[in-house]
Amino acid sequence: MKKSVPFLSLLVLACIMISCLACGLIMTKDPLYMDLTHCNEAPGKEFLFGTDTMGRDIFSMIWYGGRISLTIGFLATLLSTALAVLVGSVSGCAPARIDGILMRLTELILSVPPLLLTVFLQAVFGRANVYSLSVVIGLTGWMSMAKIVRTEVRQLKNTDYVLAAKCLGGGFFHVLFRHLAPNFFPSVLFMAVMNVRNAIVAESTLSFLGLGLPVEVVSWGSMLSLSENALFSRAWWTILIPGVFLVGTLLCLTNLGNYMRGNSNKRHSNLRGNE
């Protein structure tokens, strides 16, 4: 059964991303300004989404913080995808012994709980910031994709056009980027989209636990880290509104990833049927 394009998810995701990128045009207040005379103020005419425990405008924080959360998601995915393509391609093209070592190492890292590994690496890096958190999350999210890349490369490396490129003197990276990557890219694209989702979840989880971005750095995760104080003060809007934007973005990314996975599975089914 053919999957329909998730137009609603694409539309919502595009609106959120464009609004976050152009946050300077829609913010009504300075998202970093602490107006102590308006702490925990409910949504109203002046503060559309209310204020948090430090008097910051949540409407402005949503768009400003969303840009930081999305930046971490995309930077971490870029790093994890690059590592996955490199390790998976080397493993797929290497002799059996090197392939076995690389895959056992990948499986060993994969066996460690991701949150534990992320916390350990963040402790090594020290105080968290946008870039260190992106690197840490990227270093813990490449293993599953690397195994898929390896499988795809092993299926493609003995095809006529790859062998011809090697015979003509094509190096490893030439063959990878000109002949292998264009063929396995659709298979890993949905995993890259899901890695964006996972990176945003990881940032939010670490910030919620007090191990991610500091409170003064506005992101969806750091906004949710104030939830304990919000519950005591009954300021439900400081939890609900960032949570809605976070969950909505994650659902849109999940729908988009599932659609891409369905198309990828259909492509492989068609290839097997033509063999």
Tens digit of each residue's pLDDT (9 = 90 or more) over 142-162 = 888 888 888 888 888 777 777
175 has pLDDT over 90: no
pLDDT, tens only, 217-250: 888 888 887 766 677 777 888 888 888 898 898 8
Q: How high does pLDDT run on average in the chain?
A: 82
**Whether the predicted pLDDT of 270 surpasses 60:** no
Buried b (16+ CB within 10 A) or exposed e, 123-158: eeeeebebebbbbbbbbbbbbbbbbbbbebbeebbe
The domain locations on the chain are: 60-274
Confidence of residue 75 (pLDDT cuts 50, 70, 90): very high
Residue 2 pLDDT class (50, 70, 90 cuts): low
Domain 60-274: which CATH class? mainly alpha
pLDDT of residue 274: 42
Give the model's confidence band at 79: pLDDT under 50 very low, under 70 low, under 90 confident, else very high: very high
Torsion of CA 171, 173, 177, 183, to 10 degrees: 80
Q: Give the residue-averaged pLDDT of 161-190.
A: 76
User: Angle at which helices 58-93 and 237-274 pack, to 10 degrees?
Assistant: 30
| CA pseudo-torsion sign 244, 245, 250, 255 | positive
3-state secondary structure of 44: coil
Report, as an integer, the average pLDDT of 168-187.
75
Burial class (CB in 10 A: 0-12, 13-18, 19+), 104: exposed
- Of residues 231, 212, 232, the one with CA closest to residue 221: 212
Overall average pLDDT of the 253-272 stretch? 66
Residue range 87-112: average pLDDT? 87
Query: Running DSSP on this structure, what letter comes out for residue 23?
Result: H
